Amino acid sequence: MSTAASAGFSLMANLPALQVVVPMVAAPICTFLRFRNGPWAFALLVSAATFWISANLLMQVLGGDVISYEMGGWAPPFGIEYRVDTINAFVLLIVSGISLIALPYALRSVEREVPRDKHHLFYAGWLLCLCGMLGITITGDAFNIFVFLEISSLSTYMLLASGRDPRALTAAFQYLVLGTLGATFILIGVGLLYIMTGTLNIADLAERLGPVSDTTSVRAAAAFLTVGIALKFALFPAHFWLPNGYAYSPSAVGVFLSATATKVSIYVLLRFQFTVFGEIPAFADLDFATLLLPFAVVAFLVGSTVAIFQTDLKRLLAWSSIAQIGYMVAGIGLGGVDGLTAGIVHLFNHAITKAALFMAAGAFFLRVGSMHIDRLAGIGKTMPFTTLAFVLSGLSLIGVPTTVGFISKWYLILAALQHGTAGYAIAAMVLASSLLAVMYVWRIVEVAYFRDPAANQEITEAPLSMLLPLWALTIGCFYFGLETGYSVDIARAAAQSLLGVTP
Amino acid sequence: MSIETHIQLALLIPIIGLVGIVLTGRIPNLREAVTLVTATANAINVWSIFPAIQAGARPSVTLFELLPGLTINFTVEPLGMMFAAIASTLWIVNSIYSIGYMRGNKETSQTRFYACFALSISAAIGIAFAGNLLTLFIFYEILTLSTYPLVTHKGTEDAKRGGRTYLGILIATSIGLQLPAIIWTWNLTGTLDFVPGGTLTGKVQGLSAGLLLALYMYGVGKAALMPIHKWLPAAMVAPTPVSALLHAVAVVKAGVFTVIKIIVYVFGLELITTESATNWLIYAAAITLTLASLIAMNQDNLKRRLAYSTVSQLSYVILGAALGTAMGVVGGGMHIAMHAAGKITLFFCAGAIYVALHKTEISDMKGIGRIMPVTMFCFMIGALSVIGIPPLGGSWSKFLLMVGAADAGFQFIIGVLILSSLLNVAYLMPIPLRGFMLRPPGAGDGPVKVQEAPLACLIAICITAALTVVLFFMAQEIFDFLLPITMTGGGQ
């Protein structure tokens, strides 16, 4: 509880509020910084501050404590409560961490891909998006989630459309339509819950829902929320906005969003499914998470298959993201500590893997000027460091042992094997999907290393400001694949707290 | 230095060599010197572990613990020691040969060639020393990937097609079959370690045991059990030094080595001999070794004929392991060494013929023994060893396999082995015989002009040919060294 009143303003006690307020206040300030690299430097500074806050918050809750912060001193359930436990502290750290590491990278990419007179708006949008995602994650209030969702969505539409590629406009519009639909569903769900229980506080909701849980209204609320959230994280068959969105937006946006936006939505799903609804059956004795399972399986099979046939590298990566989202949802759908651990740890593992891959793709784009895979012929010779990082991160995407991807899949398969025959089938399909991943990663390797570069091209290695973040993440893919203490332990603790299991 | 340090060095030295090769890539003489020094240092280092293993020690190094119970671990036991010793020793000989071959043929991208070679050797040693299935799997995949650029070295459409078959089959079987088998094993036993006596005893029986064994056997595509053998003939598009060391020794032997490891240390010989559902492997191996010999007879391309011969010989090793008797397993293990020496000689000769005369088809090799007498003589020695005629190494392992088959009560296997030896004679011997007896076409009546391969190639060929003779007399030592792996407790 906040002891701010007695000790005056205490920085440490107000960290939960600052986590959201800092980027929120910074965003409008950013629009005034209209000199060269000013908005960028400011956004980087703010990102560093939010990362520091997230890291502190995570350390405070790692022991199993829960921080409950009363916004403006209004006690829950009447006021808005910010509530930090292991799982959302983990997601906060992922989001702010990716923002911090993507910004140094963004400098050169944005210079090239965003018109100069819009830089201040671009970085303001970035900060707003960051603020929205952090807000969704940290808040303990269902309506507040919706509000921050809108903040992050609106700024996402803007970021997606901020590049020079006109196709980005249609992509952003597509996402706008679908995102609005999703947000509306979420709002309806939250409204239904409010009618039934008279509260919006998530912890309070969980308690009051008990007596009315077996009503159609609550089941409808759960259905609206589940579908609405699934639209936001592009679960198959609501995935079609994602490939175009990531492919035609500026590279840095692809890096930032692919690693964070879908992860935050999946966190929201976890929060509603486990903290609020708990064991509420959707249909017969199936809960909603289990109902998502078939979609998740189709997502990773279809996503991986379609990725093989892409001719545009960013679209290939985007389709692979659809597949990877399938893995996360599959883990959640399988349930149990192992399943949830698989889902949650993959939030982190996929964030660093896919961010690294999009960074490499963006670096290729900067130098080659195209994302067409054929144009990347011989890139392994002209941009050796970028290409090597791409291949190594690609191994993580496949799930090769010693990479983070392996850790996720290992838990996912163990979780699947606990479910009898159907589980064996799912495990087999996870492996089949890994084989498909081998094929789409290998396509790039073949083009990059075993074809000769076009003679008239003058391609040089990517700038250091891109290579350093890229390699930091690539090394992370292996470091966290070998030293799993941090990520797996946190994910497991989060899974246990969501399921109410004592470790 | 402690033995543990030597184990880590065994993996590290080739990697250091790789860096050196890349850095000195612009100066070919220096680059080749780096390769030779690395190969020698590596072999010395690997052999320095040998005495301790012979004395019964089983040194173990754990590098990482990924998840509880799931580690990257290296543990050296006799079989792995032997495999590492073969691979690292033959690397020296092969490097000498490569210098002659690659320069004689004016091949391009030689730096990449030597660099990938070093990486492959490191991976092979990683497989040899792996202490559990996960570690073995990782290095198994590294070996596949690091040999791909060597297979497609020529860069022609043909080479690319061959490379795709190679990679496709090996990766698909390892991820699609071997990995599920590993996960299944973990699910049954909670461990992936190689434990003397096996870990699966009592955990799996009947049809499941047979199925799990099938996942492993076909999942280890490098063992080339039919019908997972197509990658090996496809890999013959590679330059001959690659075919010689990797596709007659390191890669294929990594496959059958893995087979023996899995049968001895995961299934356990007790389970294999008592569970009749695993007997299918004996028949599968017998069929492979006969069929592959028959196919070899129809190949006119020398390297393809040798490749099918390798497929056949690999199944000898699988057969020995499948029998599950002490003699069978030791015979199989010994065959890894014996066949390595014989087959690398044959490939060296095939490469020498290509460098000197640019001939690849057997029908064009009439009278070749008169043009390249040294090469053809060594070819004959290698062939006789592969066939299994004393005083050459191959005779002992085949003898032990027959004893093992009799012990296991599969007398018909003895017949299969004899038949196969006859087939070996039929497809290998005509080459030197026609080479020596006939005159080369268009040579006229006078003495034939000798036109041998580069000296570096000849030296390498003579060394490996001599090795087949030496191994004949070393059989007792190898037998005593390998026998402990069949004992309960692993002879520690």
CA distances from B261 to A288, A477, B50, B178, B258 (A): 45, 30, 19, 14, 5
Average pLDDT over residues A138-152: 91
Residue A70 host element (H or E) = strand A67-70
In-domain check, residue A81: no
Work out the pLDDT band at A1, boundaries 50, 70, 90. Answer: very low
Instruction: Flag if B175 and A482 touch (Cβ within 8 Å).
Output: no
Question: Chains A, B: CB contacts under 8 A, how many?
Answer: 51
A396 touches chain B (CB under 8 A): no
Q: What's the mean per-residue pLDDT of chain A?
A: 86
A residues 416-445 closer than 8 Å to B (CB): 417, 427-428, 431-432, 434-435, 438, 442
A452-474 pLDDT per residue, tens: 777 766 788 888 888 899 999 99
A413: which chain B residues are within 8 Å (Cβ-Cβ)? 183
pLDDT in tens, B182-202: 988 888 888 888 888 888 887
Q: Choose among B134, B175, B187: nearest Cβ to A435.
A: B175
Per the CB < 8 Å rule, is B180 touching A427? yes
Question: Is residue A210 in a domain?
Answer: no
Residues of B in contact with A449 (CB under 8 A): 149
Give the integer Cα–Cα distance in Å for A14 and A18.
Answer: 6
Q: Which residue's structure tokens are 């589980």? A: A423
**pLDDT greater than 80 at residue A3:** no
CB B452 within 8 A of CB B374: yes
Q: What is the CA radius of gyration of chain B?
A: 21
Which domain range does residue A455 map to?
Answer: 286-503
Cα–Cα distances (Å) from B59 to B50, B83, B195, B266, in that order, read 11, 16, 14, 19
Please report, rounded to a whole number, the percentage of residues in chain A having pLDDT higher than 90: 23
Please check whether residue A325 lies inside any domain of the structure: yes
CA nearest to A336, candidates A409, A429, A417, A222? A417
Q: Which of A337, A397, A400 to mutate to test the interface with B (most CBs of B within 10 A)?
A: A400
Check A435 against B176: CB less than 8 A apart: yes
% of residues, chain A, pLDDT over 70 = 96
Taking CA atoms, what residue in B is nearest to A489?
Answer: B67
Most B CBs within 10 Å, among A450, A451, A480, A492, to test the B interface: A450
- Is residue A87 pLDDT above 50, yes or no? yes
CB contact A491 to B (< 8 Å): no
Q: What is the pLDDT of residues B53-81, one digit of tens each?
A: 888 888 888 888 887 888 888 988 888 88
**pLDDT score recorded for residue B136:** 92
Interchain pair B155, A442: CB under 8 A? no
SS (H, E, C) A355-382: HHHHHHHHHHHHHHCCCEHHHHCCHHHH
Q: Is residue A254 part of a domain?
A: no
Is residue A451 in a domain?
yes
Alpha-carbon gap, residue A383 to B74, rounded angstroms? 35
Instruction: Please tell me the predicted confidence (pLDDT) of residue A438.
Output: 87
Residue A481 lies in a domain: yes
The answer to ipTM > 0.85 is: no
Chain B's closest residue to A391, CA to CA, is B145
Name the pLDDT band for A100 (thresholds 50, 70, 90): very high
Which residues in chain A are closer than 8 Å to B160, comparing Cβ atoms?
450
A401 close to B (CB below 8 A): yes
Identify the sign of the CA torsion A37, A40, A42, A48: negative
Cβ-defined contact of A435 to B171 (cutoff 8 Å): yes
The whole-number pLDDT of residue A355 equals 92
Q: Is A400 close to B183, i.e. CB distance below 8 A?
A: no
Q: How far is CA A347 from CA A231, A312, A313, in A?
A: 17, 25, 22
Domain count, chain A: 1
Q: Inspect the interface and report whether the beta carbons of A407 and B66 lie closer than 8 Å.
A: yes
* The model's pTM: 0.85
Pairing of β A81-84 and β B60-67: unpaired
Contact A410/B at CB under 8 A: yes
Q: How many helices (H) and strands (E) does chain B have?
A: 21, 2
Q: Kindly determine whether residue B175 and residue A413, on different chains, have CB atoms separated by under 8 Å.
A: no
* Amino acid A7: pLDDT: 47
Go through B1-11 and write b for each residue having 16 or more CB atoms within 10 A of its CB, e for each that does not: eebeebbbbbb
Q: Are B79 and B53 in contact (CB under 8 A)?
A: no
| Residue-averaged pLDDT of chain B | 85
